[in-house]
């Protein structure tokens, strides 16, 4: 008996000639096929391209769950809930490849936020009970080399350049901004002041720069005292006349004038006065500007 004749027995009411010609083995095969046919029977649910699923004991289909065999595209409207297993990768994507002028993304997310809530587009929460200190929450690579990563401790690492259109902000700390090419601005968290720029550490064993109103001070890193400043030469940028000197009253300020009526040697320690053409250094003693 041919396979076609056996199939005929399953679909037609009578085939006496077929039964007469059938061997014992063929009759057993016929019985098995009858059971398979009965088990596999049923009308597909839904419409063409809709994936079949058990819908209350019957075949079901839904327009929100389809398969396009031409493009090999599985389409789902709604959500996907994945529950991972221990020591397994819950979601793996491989085979992504672009050639020619193609520019499709491996992952594309598009949506709309119109809410009074505080949404998070991508949210990952890892309970770190035990892991290597070098574990990463995110690692982006090209050709196997890490280009951008976030450690489990929150450290951001860039292989070459981390770029921002405005600046970088350290939560509850400070801001680094650039208002123009070649310029950097250091700000506090509120972006209205700045304290210390510390070098090497935070104790009195390290130096720092401090902004005090319009003054730039060299301080110890713990801000406990002034720190020494060393240079080959120091230059006062502004050439004053006696009449254009800032008002005295800030002891320790230094400048120089170009119209003193006494030379440095003859007038050292004296209150500077105009009326000459002598260039002399001057200092503020808290009350007057004096030559010296």
Task: Give one DSSP letter per residue of 39-89, joined into a string.
Answer: HH--PPPSSTTBPPEEETTEEE-BTTEEEETTTTEEEESS-------TTS-
Position 202 scores a pLDDT of 95
Task: Tell me the three state secondary structure of residue 148.
Answer: strand
pLDDT of 169 reads 76
Averaged pLDDT, 270-288: 97
Task: Provide the pLDDT for residue 86.
Answer: 93
Residue 38 pLDDT exceeds 70: no
Domain boundaries, the chain: 1-68, 136-181, 182-227, 231-292
pLDDT band at 278 (very low <50, low <70, confident <90, very high): very high
The first and second tokens of residue 159, run together, are: 């292989």
pLDDT at residue number 168: 76
Helix 24-40 to helix 3-11 angle (10° resolution) is 50
Angstrom distance (rounded) from CA 202 to CA 196: 10
Q: Is the pLDDT confidence value at 2 over 60? A: no
| Residue 3 reports pLDDT greater than 60 | no
Are the beta carbons of 120 and 126 closer than 8 angstroms? no
Across all residues in the chain, what is the average pLDDT?
87
- The closest alpha carbon to 65, from 55, 82, 84, 57, belongs to 55
**Separation CA 243–CA 235 (nearest Å):** 21
Does the pLDDT at position 104 exceed 70? Answer: yes
> What pLDDT is stored for residue 191 in this prediction?
86
Quote the tokens at residue 144: 């196997």
Closest CA to 257 of 284, 229, 286, 230: 284
pLDDT value of position 13: 45
Angle, alpha carbons 247-251-253 (nearest 5°) = 70
User: What pLDDT score does 66 carry?
Assistant: 96
Is a pLDDT exceeding 80 seen at residue 6? no
| Per-residue pLDDT at 173 | 81
- pLDDT band for 7, please (50, 70, 90 cuts): low
Q: What is the pLDDT of residue 189?
A: 86
The predicted pLDDT at position 39 comes to 52
pLDDT on residue 178: 85
Burial level of 277, CB count in 10 A (0-12/13-18/19+)? exposed
């Amino acid at each position: 008996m041919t396979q076609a004749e056996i199939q005929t027995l399953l679909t037609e009411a009578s085939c006496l000639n077929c039964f007469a010609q059938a061997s014992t083995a063929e009759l057993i095969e016929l019985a098995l096929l009858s059971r398979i046919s009965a088990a596999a029977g049923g009308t597909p649910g839904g419409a063409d391209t809709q994936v079949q699923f058990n819908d209350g004991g019957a075949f079901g289909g839904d327009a929100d769950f389809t398969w396009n065999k031409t493009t090999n595209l599985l389409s789902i409207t709604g959500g996907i809930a994945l529950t991972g297993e221990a020591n397994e990768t819950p979601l793996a994507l491989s085979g992504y490849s672009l050639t020619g002028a193609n520019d499709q993304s491996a992952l594309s997310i598009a949506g709309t936020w119109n809410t009074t809530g505080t949404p998070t587009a991508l949210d990952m929460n890892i309970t770190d009970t035990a892991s290597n200190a070098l574990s990463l929450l995110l690692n982006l690579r090209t050709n196997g080399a890490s280009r951008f990563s976030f450690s489990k401790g929150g450290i951001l690492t860039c292989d070459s350049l981390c770029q921002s259109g405005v600046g970088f902000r350290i939560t509850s700390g400070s801001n680094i901004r650039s208002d123009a090419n070649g310029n950097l601005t250091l700000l506090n968290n509120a972006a209205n002041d700045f304290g210390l720029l510390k070098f090497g550490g935070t104790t009195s064993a390290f130096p720092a720069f401090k902004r005090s109103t319009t003054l730039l001070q060299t301080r110890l890193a713990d801000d406990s005292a002034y720190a020494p400043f060393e240079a080959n030469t120091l230059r006062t940028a502004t050439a004053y006349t006696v009449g254009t000197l800032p008002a005295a009253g800030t002891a320790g300020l230094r400048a120089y004038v170009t119209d003193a009526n006494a030379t440095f040697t003859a007038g050292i320690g004296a209150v500077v006065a105009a009326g000459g053409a002598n260039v002399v250094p001057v200092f503020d003693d808290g009350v007057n500007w004096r030559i010296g």
